[in-house]
Amino acid sequence: MSKTKLTINRNGSIKIEGDFEITDCEGKTYGLEGRTALGLCRCGLSANKPFCDGSHRNGFEHESAAFDLPPMKTK
């Protein structure tokens, strides 16, 4: 299986590339028609959620910069 890559775009979507499937909360799979890359909405403005339709333009600002999460807590 190839590695899946997610890129948090500045002021925009989450780009997902690679070998992936996307399911809804009930486990039903979205028909992606062979796509190996697409954008996921993170602004909440898309009419095509969970997919990005570009509605974020001029209405969503977020500077994406990578950082390290703290270590996971053990139970």
Residue 48 lies in a domain: yes
Tell me the whole-structure pTM to 2 decimals.
0.84
Whether residue 23 lies inside any domain: the answer is: yes
Q: What per-residue confidence (pLDDT) applies to 75? A: 83
> What strands lie across the sheet with 37-40, from one edge to the other?
5-8, 14-17, 37-40
Instruction: Give residue-wise pLDDT tens across range 40-52.
Output: 999 999 999 999 9
* pLDDT, position 58: 81
Largest CA distance in the chain: 43
- Within-domain flag for 65: no
Q: Which residue range forms the structural domain that includes residue 5?
A: 1-58
Q: Is 47 part of any domain? A: yes
What are the residue ranges in the chain where pLDDT is below 50?
Answer: none
Domain tally, the chain = 1
Residue 10 lies in a domain: yes
The pLDDT value recorded for residue 1 is: 53
Residue 64 forms part of a structural domain? no
Residue 24 lies in a domain: yes
